[in-house]
Amino acid sequence: MRRWSLRHRATVGLLVSFVLQVMPLPAVLGWFRPSFAVIAVLYWSIAAPGWGGVGLGFLMGLALDAYLGVVLGQHALATALVAYIAIRQHLIIRNKSMFEQPFYIAGLLLLWQIVVWIIDGWTGHALGSWTRLLPIVTGTLLWPFAWEWLGGDLSRSRR
Amino acid sequence: MNSSDASRYLSTRGAPAGLRFVIYAVLALVLMYLDQRGRWLESIRYGLQAIAYPIEIALNSPAAAWQWSQQVFEERAVLQAENRELRQRLRELDQLALRRQSLERENAALRAIAIPAVDVVEKYLPAQIIGSELNSQQQRLTLDRGAVNGVFDRQAVVAAGGVLGQTMRVGPWSSEIILLTDSEHALPVQILRTGMRTLAIGTGRREQLSLPFLPLQTDIRRGDRLVTSGLGGVFPAGYPVAVVTDVKRDGGAPLAQVQARTLARVDRDRIVSLLWFTPNHPAAPVSPTQNSGGDPSAKPIDVIAPSATPRGETSQGETS
């Protein structure tokens, strides 16, 4: 894995996260499924903001829209927004300890969920229940592991 | 890791992120507007579904492989038992079919109508479930049959036991179906025992329907069976839908709170059926979009406002 170039690792990581995000799961397990795709986008926005940028969030969101069959642009807008904020604040978030980082991520995941929720309302879809908030909790808990698995802090661990 | 490769990306480059975000946000809003209002993106969606099809197949492959291996290594005794069971079931169904024919003739005589020799179901197409999205917001399945197989929008889908849902978005090789239990789905039903008509609304929970539009004094109780009423234009009358599981009558509320459990069972093979109905059959689904049946000489009467939407032109999303 370490031999691969950043671009290859990023592409594979993003594809795997997308698959995990849309993979069919039993109902109860599905409630707890973190937003893998958003977490991957956030990682690359914070660790390598010059690589994908806001466009990466937009494309990942658009892929989710197309696959989930919701109005095109819904997840694209939400993911581009959190990617933008993560890029703007990447130096701050990157230099926080692993105890503080998850709080920033929780905020971003909540913002993402709120944007998706608002657009659900505008387009006349069902708003769901409080179980929509569960992926934020699991996503926040997942963040330290995802950070390590996806490559850690690229600015420090140069080998 | 290649350090020179990585360091290029460690900070932002090119156009400021704020400007990019604004461009993407506007793009997303325009897309949403077009998709929601104009429906110009239908053809793009069709293409996207074609792209999604292989991904869905790939995602479904572990489950499919597991099923296949289970089937291969199934024991002889189990298969024999299953075979016996199926034979028994076939005999029962034979009996029912024999009685159905005579009942149908008797019913036609009683109602003094001529029932055509053909069945209301013209043809059916078995389809396999290749994807599912079952949560509180969406109860959707993806089938491996699409436009090339003649599948059309708002087509009835049944599974063993009863009505499952209807097609919602048809791609070239796959189609998405919305289940009865989706919270955006409403199905016109009839209480079999009393003949009362109402709507069954999905709850977003597995196998759970609710009947929110029944007055307190409605004659309904646990165990009542619900069948399709034939209204709505998707399902013909008389298909089994659900069994009432719970009736709550709260004196303070004007309506009874009724819960029902759907009867459709997706069996181990994950096979469901898409149905085509004989047009103009008395039992065929009635919808406001097709003025079929009734007195053909009757013409719609013009309302006073000449600019009103002509009859027979209703919006698409009415039943879903």
DSSP secondary structure letters along B177-246: EEETTSTT-EEEEEETTT--EEEEEE-SSTTEEEEEEEETT----TT-EEEE-S-SSSS-TT-EEEEEEE
Residue B178's domain is classified under what CATH number? 2.40.10.340
CB atoms closer than 10 angstroms to residue A12: 12
Chain A residues touching B184 at Cβ < 8 A = 125-126
Evaluate whether residue B167 is within a structural domain.
yes
| Cα gap B42→B170, rounded to integer Å | 10
B24 and A80 within 8 Å at the Cβ level: the answer is yes
Is residue B173 a contact partner of residue B163, using CB atoms and an 8 Å limit?
A: no
What pLDDT is attached to residue B38?
65
Q: Is B274 left (phi over 0), alpha (psi -120 to 50) or beta?
A: beta
- Name the amino acid, one letter, at A42: L
| The token pair that represents B266 in the structure block | 């997706």
| Cα gap A38→A18, rounded to integer Å | 9
Q: Which domain holds residue B47?
A: 16-62
| Cα gap B206→B264, rounded to integer Å | 11
Evaluate whether residue B294 is within a structural domain.
no
A125 and B1 within 8 Å at the Cβ level: the answer is no
Q: Which domain holds residue A113?
A: 6-148
Is residue B173 a contact partner of residue B148, using CB atoms and an 8 Å limit?
A: yes
Whether residue A11 has pLDDT greater than 60: yes
Burial of B299 (0-12, 13-18, 19+ CB in 10 A): exposed
Residue A57's domain is classified under what CATH number? 1.10.1760
Q: Is B161 left (phi over 0), alpha (psi -120 to 50) or beta?
A: left
**Secondary structure (3-state) at B247:** strand
Q: Tell whether B134 and B176 lie within a shared domain.
A: yes
What pLDDT is attached to residue B32?
87
| The token pair that represents B105 in the structure block | 């003739």
Evaluate whether residue A35 is within a structural domain.
yes
**Cα dist from A91 to A99, A100, A159, whole Å:** 16, 14, 21
Evaluate whether residue A154 is within a structural domain.
no
Number of domains in chain B: 3
Round the CA-based radius of gyration of chain A to a whole number and report it.
15
| The token pair that represents B257 in the structure block | 């709170």
Number of domains in chain A: 1
Evaluate whether residue B295 is within a structural domain.
no
The 10s digit of each residue's pLDDT in A91-131 is: 888 888 888 899 999 999 999 999 999 998 888 776 767 88
Whether residue A69 has pLDDT greater than 80: no
More confident residue, A159 or A12: A12
How many Cα atoms occupy the beta-carbon half-sphere of B172 within 13 Å? 12
Evaluate whether residue B285 is within a structural domain.
no
A-B C-beta contacts closer than 8 Å:
153
| Cα gap A141→A68, rounded to integer Å | 25
Single out the residue in B52, B83, B115 at which a domain terminates: B115
Q: Tell whether B98 and B243 lie within a shared domain.
A: no
Chain B residues touching A53 at Cβ < 8 A = 12, 14, 17, 20
Closest CA relative to residue B54, chosen from B130, B129, B125: B130
Q: Tell whether B140 and B198 lie within a shared domain.
A: yes
Q: Average pLDDT in the A24-50 region?
A: 85
| The token pair that represents B42 in the structure block | 């239908």
- Out of A31, A66, A125, the one facing B135 most closely (by C-beta) is A31
CB atoms closer than 10 angstroms to residue A4: 15
State the nearest Cα–Cα gap between B216 and chain A, in angstroms.
Answer: 26
Q: Tell whether B222 and B78 lie within a shared domain.
A: no
In chain A, at which residue ranges do the beta strands (DSSP E only) sit? none
A58 and B134 within 8 Å at the Cβ level: the answer is no
The 10s digit of each residue's pLDDT in B53-109 is: 887 788 777 777 887 887 788 778 888 898 999 999 999 998 888 888 888 778 777
| Cα gap B319→B183, rounded to integer Å | 12
Evaluate whether residue A135 is within a structural domain.
yes
What pLDDT is attached to residue B268?
61
Q: Tell whether B81 and B207 lie within a shared domain.
A: no
What pLDDT is attached to residue A136?
92
Closest CA in chain B for residue A26? B134
Q: Tell whether B145 and B108 lie within a shared domain.
A: no
Q: Tell whether B105 and B132 lie within a shared domain.
A: no
Evaluate whether residue B228 is within a structural domain.
yes
Is residue A24 a contact partner of residue B131, using CB atoms and an 8 Å limit?
A: yes
Mean pLDDT computed over every residue of chain B = 79
CB of B68 within 8 Å of a chain A CB? The answer is no
Is residue B189 a contact partner of residue B228, using CB atoms and an 8 Å limit?
A: yes
Q: Tell whether B125 and B271 lie within a shared domain.
A: yes
- Sorted by sequence, the CB contacts under 8 Å of residue B36 that are 6+ apart come out as A71, A123
Closest CA relative to residue B64, chosen from B114, B131, B124, B120: B131
How many Cα atoms occupy the beta-carbon half-sphere of A115 within 13 Å? 19
Is residue A27 a contact partner of residue B204, using CB atoms and an 8 Å limit?
A: no
B262 DSSP 8-state letter: E
Largest alpha-carbon pair distance within chain A? Answer: 51
Is residue B100 a contact partner of residue A64, using CB atoms and an 8 Å limit?
A: no
Q: Tell whether B209 and B105 lie within a shared domain.
A: no
Probe site for chain A from B3, B4, B19, B21 (most A CB atoms < 10 A): B21
Evaluate whether residue B303 is within a structural domain.
no
Secondary structure (H, E, C), B27-45: HHHHHHHHHHHHCCCHHHH
A55 and B20 within 8 Å at the Cβ level: the answer is yes
Q: Tell whether B31 and B78 lie within a shared domain.
A: no
Evaluate whether residue B292 is within a structural domain.
no
Length of chain A, please?
159
Q: Tell whether B35 and B124 lie within a shared domain.
A: no
Is residue A133 a contact partner of residue A114, using CB atoms and an 8 Å limit?
A: no
What pLDDT is attached to residue B317?
41
Mean pLDDT of successive 10-residue segments in chain B (320 residues)? Answer: 59 73 90 77 76 79 78 82 92 88 80 65 85 76 88 89 88 88 90 91 88 89 90 86 91 87 78 84 63 53 48 42
- Sorted by sequence, the CB contacts under 8 Å of residue B250 that are 6+ apart come out as B257
Q: Tell whether B169 and B49 lie within a shared domain.
A: no
Evaluate whether residue A155 is within a structural domain.
no
Closest CA in chain B for residue A73? B28
